[in-house]
Amino acid sequence: MAVHGAVRDIERAVVTGGAGFLGSHLCEQLLDRGVEVVCLDNFLTGSPENVLHLMEHPGFRLVRCDVTDYVHVPGPVDLVLHFASPASPLDYLKMPIETLKVGSLGTLHTLGLAKEKGARYLLASTSEVYGDPLEHPQREEYWGNVNPVGPRGVYDEAKRFSEALTTAYRTSQGTDTAIVRIFNTYGPRMRPNDGRAIPAFVGQALAGEPLTVAGDGSQTRSICYVDDTVRGILALAFSTETGPMNIGNPDELSMLELARWIVELTGSSSEIGFIDLPVDDPKVRRPDTTAAERALGWRPTVTSEEGLARTVAWFAAQREAAAPRAS
């Protein structure tokens, strides 16, 4: 199995959206590798609390910045990771214009930064570019089945445009770019109210409330623990590959199975209820990760059982810490 070495010595990286769920874990793992990190975030969906534990690290710098306006980073930069964007349906349905702007203008500005600095550039794209897929599992060669004027189109098309722009910079400007298509990821630091299934189910189970499963729960997702996702992202970032490349867990389960599993893991007495299926909600979602396995030697190592147990424990600890103390 061919595994590519580092593109160059990466000493300093810029992470946009670095105070978000996924971005904060990226910052953490980069610092662990000895890479200095400049974290840019406008805190639209991210939070300084996600990187509070990194603030005393000598190699970490947090800058409030909206990449749709202007991006300036003094000094050398070896790697730019563009992860700024609302990423949950609840967020991008509330902020459609902001989502489109960060996928277009934000990508343009961060590509300009990478070109100026001679840096490697990694775009965080998404499995949403496949839409409600007619191919299963989804390979990188699949063009997708996206409704551009549906409610999810603002996110799907923003990412599809950002992929086209990233490719144009590589082919016409010579910028060293790569594209990662990230599938459903979960773990500590997810916002409990961000509308995604796992934090919603865990929060409901811990509160003893009914778990709200959309449709009949037969729709499937493939969930990948955040440590594995970030390891895959960085394997691509430090390689010579251009992508697009799927990073996700090929193990597939239905939403009803996921809800029942979380009830069991939390020891909850919650029942399962059903709500209407959102418009254009994909019926299936599973990555073909052959390319990542062959090119990067990457595959997930954290089982869903272990990852969900860690995630439940984190949410339970957060809930306990927030509970009012008896005097």
pLDDT of amino acid 325: 67
Report pLDDT for 143. Answer: 96
Q: Which residues contact 162 (CB under 8 A, 6 or more apart)?
A: 82, 103, 104, 107, 123, 125
- List the domain boundaries for the chain: 12-187+224-250+284-301
Q: What is the CA radius of gyration of the chain?
A: 19
pTM, whole model, 2 decimals? 0.94
The pLDDT tens digits of the residues spanning 95-137 come to 999 999 999 999 999 999 999 999 999 999 999 999 999 999 9
> Would you state the pLDDT for residue 7?
63
CATH architecture of the domain 12-187+224-250+284-301 equals 3-Layer(aba) Sandwich (3.40)
pLDDT at 281: 82
- The per-residue pLDDT of the chain, averaged, comes to 94
Per-10-residue mean pLDDT for the chain, 327 residues long? Answer: 58 98 98 98 97 98 97 97 94 95 98 98 97 95 95 95 98 98 97 91 95 92 96 97 97 94 94 88 92 97 95 94 71
Predicted confidence at residue 3, as pLDDT, reads 43
Q: What is the pLDDT of residue 302?
A: 97
Please name the amino acid found at residue 232.
G
∠ CA 166-221-157, rounded to 5°:
30
Residue 324 preceded by cis peptide, ω within 30: no
* CA atoms of 321 and 172, how far apart (whole Å): 52
Is residue 15 within 8 A of residue 39, CB to CB? The reply is yes
**The pLDDT of residue 8:** 67
Please give the positions annotated as active site.
155
